[in-house]
């Protein structure tokens, strides 16, 4: 047995070097020593796949499956090899069936990965044999994404890289035959186009894949590209297979850990977090090769309200996950949980930091929404922290000084600072409206006076400012309404003189506007105002106006109702009802 293991180890090294014939020979020698070892058939099947000898690979895969069928774990090995061999020979339906049969026995990451690959290959074959990954380069926004991504922008200056991009755009089928996608720069490009960091997408824990040998540096492209060769196979990379199986003790430990995880999950659902913590901790102790035990443990501490411990455990999950090349989705989940814990601690900068790290690993709507909420909460907290009424008053006075000096642009900045320092001060909005008016930014001025009135509905100066802005905008009827509002709120008559002068000015403008208008023209102009149109279409108002034509006194009686009075005043201001 020692000789068989030594031969197997040598075969593994030859396999890693892609010396398929040597690997096959060494595994064959090992099988002669230990013919009942399913791992040796499994490894030789992988080597035959590397050589693209699909028939031999399938034969060894069947033998590995038969020899391992009574093992508690590792029974998927034969199915994974069988699926890979059938995939390589383009027997897609049979390959899918092999992977699905294996998944019924054990939910293995390797089987799931192989099943996804063969399903994609089948779909690609039906679409004309083009690689789905290669087709990303033909998308309309592909070059824009590459140019704006820091990792790929630098590659665009390399003529050989651009030549490969152009080759894929002209013929996406080259992806399978030319080895273009093995270029590390193309891996960066695919990551940018898919919105993920492929470099962080390591092998899932416990998967059936061995790390590929480091790719050799791509040769510089020739001045003219070689003629494309037709694809001979869409098989998965043969080196992406695990050369080791679990021994009996490891299989037992993994099974025990899985049962503990299930127990912890049941306790978690019952909100018995102490029991869940014990189970998840024991699961990791028994089988420290699956970081879901740690992420679940972090979730239990999180629900218990121990956010610091949740952060500590999830940071450990990230570190351990990196060392065992865990699925990037699990890394993303750990980062997301750290972000949520910081959010609960109201440490929003760190929450944002770890949500962003999570999205770098794997983009999910849940974490994206959490990031946006954290960013909004941080912005609001910063806004609230910035509020200081005393500094607001200083900024407003600076704005007044600048306004008097005719520096309206500077005064707008000072008034804006006053508003940011104290958003509840209507005076800053009103003052900024005055500066906007001087700069003929009338829509902005109108927004500011409306905000000032919203903050302080009795602010007479805001109403008169609004009337002046509307007058400048030639909205005479609305300007008249604003000045009438000013009269209602000027209870102490401090602004009576200003209001009378402003009203006279508006009435004069109205007279000039309507002096040459017929009743029909006035009605047509007034009906362009939605409020006027609504009043005129109101059946009650229509009845009141009809009565007023035959009995003017009836109109006075109806105006005793405040709601009707407001509507009639609106029609008077619009010129539809003319008074003598």
Going by pLDDT thresholds of 50, 70 and 90, the confidence category of residue 283 is very high
Q: b/e for 561-577, b at 16 or more Cβ within 10 A? A: eeebeebbebbebbbbe
What confidence score (pLDDT) does residue 313 get? 95
pLDDT tens column, 95-153: 898 888 888 777 677 778 888 888 887 776 554 444 555 566 767 677 777 777 777 77
Contact 27, 62 (CB under 8 A): no
Q: Quick one: which of 66, 43, 69, 96 has its CA closest to 245?
A: 43
Per-residue pLDDT, averaged over 260-268, amounts to 94
Going by pLDDT thresholds of 50, 70 and 90, the confidence category of residue 50 is confident
Going by pLDDT thresholds of 50, 70 and 90, the confidence category of residue 217 is very low
Looking at the chain, which residues constitute the CATH 1.25.40.10 domain(s)?
2-124, 250-384
Q: Is the pLDDT of residue 544 over 90?
A: no
What confidence score (pLDDT) does residue 102 get? 80
What confidence score (pLDDT) does residue 232 get? 39
Per-residue pLDDT, averaged over 333-362, amounts to 94
DSSP state of 345: T
What confidence score (pLDDT) does residue 131 get? 53
Ranking 278-282, 391-395, 445-449, 539-543 by mean pLDDT, the lowest is 539-543
Q: Is the pLDDT of residue 52 over 60?
A: yes
What confidence score (pLDDT) does residue 78 get? 75
Q: What distances in angstroms separate CA 290 from CA 148, 280, 284, one per listed residue?
A: 36, 11, 7
CA angle at 69 for the pair 66 and 75, rounded to the nearest 5° = 110
Residue 441 and residue 472: Cα distance in Å, rounded?
A: 11
Q: Quick one: which of 497, 456, 502 has its CA closest to 482?
A: 502
275's CB contacts (< 8 A; 6+ apart) are: 264, 267
Helix (H, G, I), strand (E, B) or coil at 48: helix
What confidence score (pLDDT) does residue 126 get? 53
Residue 399 and residue 385: Cα distance in Å, rounded?
A: 22
What confidence score (pLDDT) does residue 332 get? 92
Contact 79, 65 (CB under 8 A): yes
Contact 185, 247 (CB under 8 A): no
Per-residue pLDDT, averaged over 220-249, amounts to 45
> What distance lies between CA 209 and its chain's CA centroid?
30
Per-residue pLDDT, averaged over 246-253, amounts to 77
pLDDT tens column, 482-528: 988 898 899 888 889 999 999 888 888 877 766 666 777 777 777 87
Residue 337 and residue 298: Cα distance in Å, rounded?
A: 8
529's CB contacts (< 8 A; 6+ apart) are: 477, 574
CATH for 527-580 (1.10.150.120, 3.30.56.10, 1.10.260.100, 1.10.1060.10): 1.10.260.100
The domain made up of 250-384 is a member of CATH 1.25.40.10: yes
Average pLDDT in the chain:
80
Q: What is the H or E stretch that residue 140 is in?
A: none
What confidence score (pLDDT) does residue 257 get? 92
Q: Which long-range contacts (CB under 8 A, 24 or more apart) does 303-306 make?
A: 303/268, 303/271, 303/273, 304/273, 304/274, 304/277
Please give the model's pTM, rounded to 2 decimal places.
0.44
Going by pLDDT thresholds of 50, 70 and 90, the confidence category of residue 83 is confident
Per-residue pLDDT, averaged over 43-59, amounts to 89
Per-residue pLDDT, averaged over 542-559, amounts to 77
**2-124 CATH:** 1.25.40.10
What confidence score (pLDDT) does residue 182 get? 64
Going by pLDDT thresholds of 50, 70 and 90, the confidence category of residue 237 is very low
Residue 8 and residue 2: Cα distance in Å, rounded?
A: 10
Going by pLDDT thresholds of 50, 70 and 90, the confidence category of residue 220 is very low
Residue 194 and residue 190: Cα distance in Å, rounded?
A: 6
Q: Is the pLDDT of residue 262 over 90?
A: yes
**Two tokens at 381?**
């907290």
Helix locations, 324-405, DSSP H: 328-344, 348-361, 365-386, 389-404
What confidence score (pLDDT) does residue 319 get? 92
Looking at the chain, which residues constitute the CATH 1.10.260.100 domain(s)?
527-580
Q: What distances in angstroms separate CA 317 from CA 215, 286, 310, 376, one per listed residue?
A: 29, 15, 10, 28
pLDDT tens column, 428-459: 999 999 999 999 999 999 999 999 999 999 99
pLDDT tens column, 170-216: 666 555 545 566 677 877 777 777 765 544 333 333 333 322 333 33
pLDDT tens column, 381-435: 988 889 999 999 999 999 999 999 999 999 999 999 999 999 999 999 999 999 9
Ranking 55-64, 479-488, 565-574 by mean pLDDT, the lowest is 565-574
What confidence score (pLDDT) does residue 216 get? 36
């Amino acid at each position: 047995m020692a000789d068989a293991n030594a031969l197997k180890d040598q075969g593994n090294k030859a396999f890693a070097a892609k010396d398929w014939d040597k690997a096959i020979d060494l595994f064959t020698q090992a099988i002669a020593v230990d013919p009942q070892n399913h791992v040796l058939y499994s490894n030789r099947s992988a080597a035959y796949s590397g050589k693209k000898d699909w028939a031999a690979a399938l034969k060894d895969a069947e033998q590995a499956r038969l020899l391992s069928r009574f093992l508690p774990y590792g029974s998927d090995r034969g199915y994974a090899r069988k699926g890979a061999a059938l995939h390589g020979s383009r027997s897609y339906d049979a390959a899918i069936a092999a992977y699905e049969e294996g998944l019924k026995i054990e939910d293995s990451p390797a089987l799931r990965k192989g099943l996804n690959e063969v399903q994609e290959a089948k779909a690609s074959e039906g679409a004309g044999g083009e690689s789905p990954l290669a087709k990303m380069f033909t998308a309309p926004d592909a070059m824009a994404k590459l140019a704006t991504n820091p990792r790929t922008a630098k590659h665009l200056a390399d003529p050989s890289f651009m030549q490969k991009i152009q080759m894929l755009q002209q013929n996406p089928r080259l992806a399978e035959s030319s080895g273009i996608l093995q270029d590390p720069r193309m891996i960066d490009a695919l990551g940018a186009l898919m919105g993920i960091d492929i470099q962080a997408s390591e092998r899932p824990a416990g998967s059936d894949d061995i790390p590929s040998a480091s790719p050799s540096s791509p040769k510089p492209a020739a001045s003219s590209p070689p003629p494309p060769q037709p694809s001979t196979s869409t098989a998965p990379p043969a080196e992406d297979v695990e050369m080791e199986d679990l021994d009996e003790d490891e299989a037992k430990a993994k099974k025990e850990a899985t049962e503990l995880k299930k127990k912890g999950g049941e306790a978690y659902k019952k909100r018995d977090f102490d029991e869940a913590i014990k189970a998840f901790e024991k699961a990791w102790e028994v089988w420290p090769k699956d970081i879901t035990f740690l992420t679940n443990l972090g979730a239990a501490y999180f629900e218990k309200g121990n956010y610091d411990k949740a952060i500590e455990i999830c940071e450990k999950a990230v570190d351990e996950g990196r060392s065992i090349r865990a699925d990037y989705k699990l890394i993303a989940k750990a980062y997301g949980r750290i972000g949520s814990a910081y959010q609960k601690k109201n440490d929003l900068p760190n929450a944002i930091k770890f949500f962003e790290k999570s999205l770098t690993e794997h983009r999910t709507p849940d974490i994206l929404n959490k990031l946006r909420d954290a960013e909004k909460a941080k912005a609001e907290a910063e806004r609230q922290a910035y509020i200081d009424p005393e500094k607001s008053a200083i900024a407003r006075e600076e704005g007044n000084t600048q306004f008097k000096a005719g520096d309206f642009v500077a005064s707008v900045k000072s008034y804006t600072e006053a508003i940011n320092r104290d958003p509840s001060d209507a005076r800053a909005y009103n003052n900024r409206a005055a500066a906007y008016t001087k700069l003929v930014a009338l829509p902005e001025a109108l927004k500011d006076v409306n905000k000032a009135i919203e903050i302080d509905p009795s602010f007479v100066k805001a109403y008169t400012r609004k009337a002046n802005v509307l007058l400048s905008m030639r909205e005479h009827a609305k300007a008249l309404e604003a000045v009438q509002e000013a009269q209602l709120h000027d209870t102490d008559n401090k602004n009576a003189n200003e209001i009378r002068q402003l009203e006279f000015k508006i009435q004069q403008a109205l007279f000039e506007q309507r002096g040459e208008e017929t009743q029909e023209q006035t009605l047509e102009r007034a009906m362009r105002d939605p409020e006027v149109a609504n009043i005129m279409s109101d059946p009650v108002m229509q009845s009141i106006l009809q009565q007023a034509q035959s009995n003017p006194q009836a109109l006075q009686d109806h105006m005793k109702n405040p709601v009707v009075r407001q509507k009639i005043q609106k029609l008077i201001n619009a010129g539809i009802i003319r008074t003598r």
